[in-house]
Amino acid sequence: MRLLPSLTGPQDLRQLSLDDLQELAGEIRTAICDQVSRSGGHLAPNLGVVELSIALHYVFDFSHDRLVFDVGHQCYPHKLLTGRLPLLQHLRTRRGMSGFPEPDESPFDLFRVGHAGTGISTAVGLARGDTLNAEAYDPADNPAGRRIVAFIGDASIANGVAMEGLNNAGTLNRQFLIVLNDNGMSISKPQGALAQYFDRVRISHLYSDFKRSAKQLLRHVPGGSLIKDAYHRAGEATKAVINDGNRESGWFEHFGLMTVGPIDGHDLPTLIEFLTEARDIARPMVLHVKTIKGKGFPFSEKDSSRFHSPSPFKIHLTEDEEDCKVELKSGGRSFTTAFADALTDLMTRDPKAVACTAAMPEGTGLDKVMPRFPDRTWDTGICESHALDMMAGLAKTGFKPFLAVYATFFQRAFDQAFQEAALQGLPVRLCLDRAGLVGGDGAVHHGFCDTALLRTLPGAAITAAMDEPSLVAALEFMRGYEAGLSAVRYPRDTVSDRFSGEACLPFELGRARCLTPRFESLTDRPVAAVLAFGTPAIAAMEAADRLGEEYPVAVYDARFAKPVDQALIRRLLQNQIPIITVEDHSIIGGFGSAVLEAAQELGLDASRVVRLGLPDSWILQDSRAQQLAEVGLDAAGIALAIRRAAEAPRPAASDTMVDSAAPAFPATGPTTAI
């Protein structure tokens, strides 16, 4: 590797020859693959945009011009081209490079971007702002002004927010370039009519003719007419695809956007020539670029879904490079796998159960369910809002819909959860993978506010799983819950086997489960009680083990954040037993807040309720274990909170236990309805 280490920024890139740029592309691919094989990260999407990233930085000056990413996981080459090679060795950790655009790392990153569909809209805002500030590029009046590029890919063009951005981009009266990285893939195979349209464009014989003749065009067409000729040819290709004699029927044309391409996204001379002309066109424009996701390595090209964001892996070379074996590191049985198996069993038993995901079949485990139930499972593409509304429609027709979605992406569908599900009293079931802290993906992907959002919805039942048996039990509870929307949250982590030898009680609405049998009736008084929502219950048990008999503590798997177990809260507080609530969620509006609210509603003194959760600050990328330790949600942090709560002065009162013989789960259940 001779070129990449010498790059301090894009200004060095522009001093290289075309042959050097080709060599640089290979060095970037090797550097990314080597690092991701050690740390995990987004591999295939970055391998596919190496030449495109080089060409963009070669043609534009993004220390002055504006580059906005849509689906930020395709930013690794951009980061290496902007002088961040030293950070690569600590990829996705606090010491190194974030896996997404990060303004704190570099002025070349304008937004933290982790969700799909946002790039065009934010770029439109930049374009309007630069125009109002008299800083926009204008070929006549301000040739030194700022240009705008929105870089969108991985099928997020089909996202509803992207549609809204396109609708406004066409009204701009200035330079505005949308580079569409069309790799024929989302995280998985893209879904929907729009994806099928792009497939037809790619296989059109006119597109193939245009691609083959690109280099000849560059050599023989007089300067200034390359885009014009390509615009005509792209229009002809589109006309052949949609069987319409009007070139303006091209899809982007309806938004008022000049459209050129598709062009070969791995042909550097072609990319540089087209971008050089597109740079100076004073109207909104789409450059449609065809790339290969996973480009450069046979294993990632053949299976770009599996290598979209792999865990660390090892490549076993064979004599035939095409048949090399790649072994992904396994960290144990994951909640995602456990969910897939549980849902498969549930759907086998209940023909009314249906499921869908929004572009995340592998990430949510639904890819293992879909082959078994092809008529009752769907992937909607990157369309969370549509997916939830579709599930509401299925619920209205008597089915039992389960929507498998990352907790962070559920935020996109909260309006639909409110209006089309909860408001209608429809039993849509949310399966929130990657809830809480997510590790290396960092702040853009933490699922830290789902509980707070869902708690506002009347009739909602919000659960969390602490291990695989409780996840199975939660899904079974949700299958039978018809009073409104329900949800179960679980992390991106391995399942604990601590309670695998014990029977898992069924979920009963608003009732916790005691994990420390000696304190079930409270005849043996604990120094404190931990009410843990989800997997923090396992860490709380580890904390109890550490404290031993010096600080005997009762630990409960809370199970529900709505409704909380008010009978349990009453018994603990009436007996002046400190309560420590623990959750892998924002401390604002989460489970701990629900416990405080319940105490207030019951007229109880809540001064000895201590809440542990995610602080009111952004938690950056690192391992999930390190993030939990940082915010005091590991066993050590919980043990410290227990000691402090137990040692705090308590009000003078009788040592007689109140209702000490009452069962852990009173027959009356919660004292208030949800």
Average pLDDT for 568-583: 97
Section 274-282 average pLDDT: 93
- Structure confidence at residue 304 (pLDDT): 82
Please give the angle made by the CA atoms of 93, 94 and 97, to the nearest 5 degrees.
65
- The pLDDT assigned to 1 comes to 76
pLDDT tier for residue 222 given thresholds of 50, 70 and 90:
very low
pLDDT given at position 183: 85
* pLDDT level of residue 281 (50, 70, 90 thresholds): very high
On the question of pLDDT at 206 being above 70, the answer is no
Question: What does the buried/exposed string (b/e) look like for 158-174 if buried means 16 or more CB atoms within 10 Å of the residue's CB?
Answer: bbebbeebbebbbebeb
Question: What confidence tier does 201 reach under pLDDT thresholds 50, 70, 90?
Answer: very low
What pLDDT is stored for residue 508 in this prediction? 98
Lowest mean pLDDT among 63-77, 191-205, 314-328, 623-637: 191-205
Mean pLDDT of 243-248: 38
What is the C-alpha separation between 454 and 423, in angstroms, rounded? 12
pLDDT for residue 158: 80
Q: Taking the CA atoms of the chain, what radius of gyration do you get in angstroms? A: 28
The stretch 267-283 carries a mean pLDDT of 93
Mean pLDDT across the chain: 87
The pLDDT of residue 247 is above 90: no
Residue 68 sits at the vertex; the CA angle it makes with 65 and 72, to the nearest 5 degrees, is 145
pLDDT band at 215 (very low <50, low <70, confident <90, very high): very low
Asked whether 528 and 551 are in contact (CB, 8 A), the reply is yes
End-to-end Cα distance, the chain: 62
pLDDT at 455: 98
Half-sphere exposure of 281 (CA within 13 A, CB side): 24
Q: Domains of the chain by range and CATH?
A: 62-293 (3.40.50.970), 335-489 (3.40.50.970), 513-647 (3.40.50.920)
CB atoms inside a 10 Å sphere around CB 118: 23
Residue 661 — very low, low, confident or very high, per pLDDT cuts 50/70/90?
A: very low
| DSSP three-state, residue 306 | coil
For 51-103, write each residue's pLDDT tens digit: 999 999 999 999 999 999 998 899 999 999 999 999 999 999 999 999 999 99
Q: Are the CB atoms for 114 and 408 separated by under 8 Å?
A: yes
304 or 175, higher pLDDT = 175
Provide, rounded to the nearest whole percent, the portion of the chain with pLDDT above 90: 73
Please choose, from the candidates 439, 311, 441, the residue with its C-alpha nearest in 3D space to the C-alpha of residue 38: 311
User: Annotated catalytic sites, by residue?
Assistant: 293, 384, 412
Q: Contacts for 651-656 with beta carbons within 8 Å, 24 or more apart?
A: 651/576, 651/605, 653/576
Q: How far apart are CA 467 and CA 557, in angstroms?
A: 10
Q: How much of the chain, in percent, has pLDDT values that exceed 70?
A: 85
State the pLDDT confidence band at 34, using cuts at 50, 70 and 90.
Answer: very high
pLDDT greater than 90 at residue 624: yes
Cβ atoms of 551 and 545 closer than 8 Å:
no
Question: In 350-425, where does DSSP find H-type helix?
Answer: 361-364, 384-396, 407-410, 414-416
Rounded to whole angstroms, the Cα distance separating 463 from 564 reads 10
pLDDT of residue 120: 95
Q: What is the mean pLDDT of residues 398-413?
A: 97
- Of 166-180, 292-306, 552-566, the poorest mean pLDDT is in 292-306
**262 cis-preceded (ω within 30 degrees of 0):** yes
pLDDT band at 260 (very low <50, low <70, confident <90, very high): confident
Mean pLDDT of 319-329: 68
What pLDDT sits at residue 654?
46
pLDDT for the residue 153 = 85
Query: How would residue 142 be classed by pLDDT, with cut points 50, 70 and 90?
Result: very high
- What's the pLDDT score for residue 218? 42
Higher pLDDT, 223 or 570: 570
At a CB cut-off of 8 Å and minimum separation 6, what does 613 contact? Answer: 581, 582, 583, 584, 585, 586, 587, 590, 591, 592, 631, 633
- The dihedrals phi and psi of 142, each to the nearest 5 degrees, come to -150, 70
Q: For residues 191 and 415, what is the distance between their CA atoms, to the nearest angstrom? A: 23
Question: Which has the closest alpha carbon to 389: 623, 188, 160?
Answer: 160
Phi, psi of 102, deg, nearest 5: -140, 105
Distances (CA, A) of 454 to 57, 66, 252, 540: 43, 37, 37, 25
**Cα torsion 179, 185, 186, 191: sign:** positive
Q: What is the mean pLDDT of residues 118-136?
A: 96
How many of the other CB atoms lie within 10 Å of CB of 278?
23
Residue 591 has pLDDT above 70, yes or no: yes
pLDDT at residue 664 greater than cutoff 80: no
pLDDT band at 235 (very low <50, low <70, confident <90, very high): low
Range scoring the smallest mean pLDDT among 4-18, 145-159, 315-329: 315-329
pLDDT beyond 70 at 470: yes
User: pLDDT value at position 569?
Assistant: 98
Q: How confident is the model at residue 521 (pLDDT cuts 50, 70, 90)?
A: confident
C-alpha 333, offset from chain centre:
21
